Structure 1
């Protein structure tokens, strides 16, 4: 097996578990906070929002920092640091004596993260141009699927083994990711003593500034679209069927349906990107995703919604790999870690912004409007991508290069 394929396999497992570790707390958080002694319903809701969101907000800040460290010290050390750190921190959450300690540990989890940045940089810099679309497409399934399947996995573990064991089992899986990374990831990295660039200097050395910012914005909007449904999914499922039992489980499966589709479609769309160009796949996926959001506002049963969420996963599977393929193409290798770090920051901000957007739109206008607003965002982004990415990448000059 080629070295890059072996590293891809190990990184996929670690990134999937990392995604689960970041998101598995969502369905059990309110119940766990109540178990920690918070009785008031409004206080539980407030603490739940803080505990869930703080990890992603802090991750957005520290992701470029770890990207810089990956460029300076190597990607494998960052993988080991992040996986071992998260294993210890997530495991300790099961022993949290009160809600403030839990929030503090979630904050630490956001600081120590960086597994995704290191994985993406490692695979992007090791894989040849011919296979980069397939490799990055396959890798993207791990992060997105882990994040989307995390709530369902957390709910199932909680039901079967108890809430505390959600943290212990996830911590153990992260420890396995650390061990497999230590044993099987191989990196040939030559450390070079070089000046640490300031943000201004980094921006000055970035060749395609406008294109890079467009790709960051597209990745942010993609994650907003994926997570806008999270705060309203249970309420929406309940509204669709008053007599439905196991609402929480059905809601988790519905939310995770797009993650399953992503696992199926992303490698294939990544391979298609290698053949026809990532910019073409990106534009088509944005338009298709924008269209598929519209009927989700008018479904009459949870199963219809689940089917549409699955179709959505098939389309958005072409977005994350396309963003990373184009970033790799336009970014010098020496800057790859930091640039991918900022890309991951955009994704983390998108998770937070999507959750806030979904809750606010549902509160003011109703749950159905969440899907329509998200559709409009994707369509507007498609127009922007057409003029700022598609036309540029389709020009004879770019095609020749």
Structure 2
């Protein structure tokens, strides 16, 4: 088997597991915080704990990206996998909300599996297959982030919150071991440029096409994460007993994930033929309508059905953004480009739960669904009007 295909297959599974493990906490985070002693402002506390890792990741991601260009994406991939394994195991033994918060911060500082995998695939795959490979990888990542809550809901319901963390750590450990054995980075040429985070950001800003993608990435992540940490509370409002909330929330999340598995590769091939800008626009518009429509369904069954519709379109968004990142950057800058992309992504992911938790506590959670859909529509208009995405590829030397 060709090396790039072996890399793709191993990292598809690894990225799905890493993403699923990261989002596994969503169905039971508010309930776990109650167990740790939080009984007021649970929505806000959930937002703070969930967002903390993304703040740390946003600050450190450009450093890991620069080190990946200097020393290789494979070493950064393995480093992050080992760190996540240890931290998931440690999370099983927390006794207070502050301890949980500290571990989430460390996870943000030491993670980076998915950006490393994306940069490695983008750099080792033949140009004719880059679009499909990155779309497949992004689909696996997005699917993992949505299937993760299903696994988290089932495992926490069948076992305990602590055992769920241990299982997540074991899953990441297996994925990391497979990467150590089979993933290779042939013909890697280390960047000779001195590591300069300010300089890298300056280069990214000067590339108008890349800057447009980065802004779209941040606002999209912000929009999606305003609602996701609140879904367990919303499911309870639909009439689900508290003891079944984590399981039912996981099932609701998984419905969107299943539609992503079905339609993600279709959008990837569509992007290769018609262009990833058009694919991105369709995904954003469908995701916007799907979010707003969720307020009109007041049963778990109806809510799950509209989540499937939402996932059918939104699964096109992140693959298109990653493919556009590759189009707008040179191979020697790709690790740094995805590191910076991760910073923008995590800044949005950081702010989303904080704002969503605050708005959800202040108003009704329905308001947050409308807010999410509105922001996705704003991103679609921004992408539609951006001339830099209509032009031919622009690269950074």
Considering the TM-score relative to the shorter chain, is it more than 0.5?
yes
- In the alignment, which residue of structure 1 is the partner of 2:15? 15
**Does the 8 Å contact 1:14/1:83 carry over to 2?**
no
Give per-residue Cα distances to partners, 1:86-124, cap 9 Å, x unaligned. Answer: 111211222335443333222221111011111010111
More displaced, 289-298 or 314-323? 289-298
- Give the 3 Å change call, closer, same or farther, for CA 241–104 of structure 1 in structure 2: closer
* Aligned counterpart in structure 1 of residue 316 of structure 2, from 303, 315, 318: 318
Is 1:177 the counterpart of 2:212 in the alignment? no
TM-score by length of 2: 0.90
Give per-residue Cα distances to partners, 1:138-177, cap 9 Å, x unaligned. Answer: 1112222222222231222122222221121111111101
Aligned length: 394
- Give the 3 Å change call, closer, same or farther, for CA 232–92 of structure 1 in structure 2: closer
Gaps of 5+ in 1: none
- In the alignment, which residue of structure 1 is the partner of 2:265? 267
- Give the 3 Å change call, closer, same or farther, for CA 386–182 of structure 1 in structure 2: same
- In the alignment, which residue of structure 2 is the partner of 1:373? 371
**Does the 8 Å contact 1:66/1:117 carry over to 2?**
no
More displaced, 197-206 or 310-319? 197-206
**Within 5 Å, which residues of 2 pair with 1:88-103?**
88-103=86-101
TM-score by length of 1: 0.90
State the 1:47 CA deviation.
5.4
**Within 5 Å, which residues of 2 pair with 1:72-87?**
72-87=70-85
- Structure 2 residue matching 1:218: 3-state secondary structure: helix
- In the alignment, which residue of structure 2 is the partner of 1:143? 141
- In the alignment, which residue of structure 1 is the partner of 2:353? 355
**Does the 8 Å contact 1:230/1:255 carry over to 2?**
no
User: What is the root-mean-square deviation of aligned Cα atoms in Å?
Assistant: 2.5
**Does the 8 Å contact 1:208/1:330 carry over to 2?**
no
State the 1:187 CA deviation.
0.8
State the 1:215 CA deviation.
0.6
Is 1:304 the counterpart of 2:270 in the alignment? no
State the 1:83 CA deviation.
0.6
State the 1:263 CA deviation.
2.2
- In the alignment, which residue of structure 1 is the partner of 2:244? 246
- Structure 1 residue matching 2:27: 3-state secondary structure: coil
Distance 1:240 1:32 in 2: 20
Is 1:4 the counterpart of 2:1 in the alignment? no
State the 1:310 CA deviation.
1.2
**Within 5 Å, which residues of 2 pair with 1:2-401?**
2-33=2-33, 35=35, 38-42=36-40, 48-192=46-190, 194-206=192-204, 209-241=207-239, 246-388=244-386, 391-394=387-390
- Give the 3 Å change call, closer, same or farther, for CA 365–40 of structure 1 in structure 2: closer
- Give the 3 Å change call, closer, same or farther, for CA 176–295 of structure 1 in structure 2: same
Give per-residue Cα distances to partners, 1:5-28, cap 9 Å, x unaligned. Answer: 211111122212211232222334
More displaced, 39-48 or 162-171? 39-48
Distance 1:40 1:288 in 2: 37
More displaced, 45-54 or 16-25? 45-54
Give per-residue Cα distances to partners, 1:369-392, cap 9 Å, x unaligned. Answer: 22222222111211111111xx54
- Structure 1 residue matching 2:57: 3-state secondary structure: helix
Gaps of 5+ in 2: none
Distance 2:301 2:31 in 1: 26
Distance 2:241 2:87 in 1: 40
State the 1:189 CA deviation.
4.3
Give per-residue Cα distances to partners, 1:278-313, cap 9 Å, x unaligned. Answer: 111111222222222222122232222211111111
Distance 1:369 1:99 in 2: 28
